[in-house]
Structure 1
């Protein structure tokens, strides 16, 4: 879905910058990241670790959107936000792949191997590292 469609369908709207919400989302993302790291990676926890890490990433993206004056109500629209508003095409493609994997896990019961989960967790961490400078104080 492109950014124009996200805005037309009110899946993304312009808002005022809310610094307290941004701070709260960053803290929440940090807690989810810490929780994911506390879990030992095994067949039982692999999907849960990926889901927690993805949620932390999504919260950072929400904070970036709010910092830029947008509230986004659809995970797919974060992809178009990254492409169109932030001009971060590589990040957008990475996030979209992770979004699809997370949806497969959450909504279709996809199982993920330990080896694949380790790679995905690293990919999420790399994307989170790229998000942090976008949240730096001006």
Structure 2
């Protein structure tokens, strides 16, 4: 489904740009990343770290969306937003992959390997930094 389809199905709504909400989402995303960085990844916490790392990624994407005037009600629509509105195909593919991993954890109880979590702990913060620099620079200056 493309981004316009999500709009037609009311899973995305065009809205007024909301700088304060964007700032709040950025703050919450960075709080999660800070806590994650303080923990030592292990088999015991791999699932929790993966889930929270994805949440931090999602919050940054949502911050960009609300700053650009979109309210997104679907994680799949965030993938389309990243790919089509931001034209960040590689980031969109990774976001969607991590979305599916998060869903498999939350809805099917699928365990996640420590190696997969460690990969996410390196990759997701890089994507967040790239997105922040490209799309949230003005928000962070305010």
TM-score higher than 0.5: yes
Corresponding residue for residue 3 of structure 1: 3
Check if 1:72 corresponds to 2:72. Answer: yes
Secondary structure of the residue that 2:138 maps to in structure 1? coil
Decide which moves more: 34-43 or 96-105: 34-43
Shift of 1:102: 1.0
Decide which moves more: 20-29 or 126-135: 126-135
Shift of 1:38: 2.0
Shift of 1:121: 1.7
What TM-score does the superposition give when structure 2 sets the normalisation length?
Answer: 0.92
Unaligned stretches of 5+ in structure 1? none
Shift of 1:39: 2.0
Check if 1:46 corresponds to 2:57. Answer: no
Corresponding residue for residue 33 of structure 1: 33
Secondary structure of the residue that 2:71 maps to in structure 1? strand
Regions of 4+ moved over 2 Å:
none
CA-to-partner distance for each residue in 1:20-72, whole Å, 9 max, x for gaps? 11111111001111111222211110010111111111000000001111000
Contact 2:13–2:72 (CA under 8 A) maintained in structure 1: yes
How far apart in 2 are the matches of 1:64 and 1:116? 26
* Paired residue total: 138
Corresponding residue for residue 130 of structure 1: 130
Contact 2:53–2:120 (CA under 8 A) maintained in structure 1: no
Secondary structure of the residue that 1:137 maps to in structure 2? helix
How far apart in 1 are the matches of 2:131 and 2:102? 19
Unaligned stretches of 5+ in structure 2? none
Secondary structure of the residue that 2:111 maps to in structure 1? coil
How far apart in 1 are the matches of 2:99 and 2:13? 21
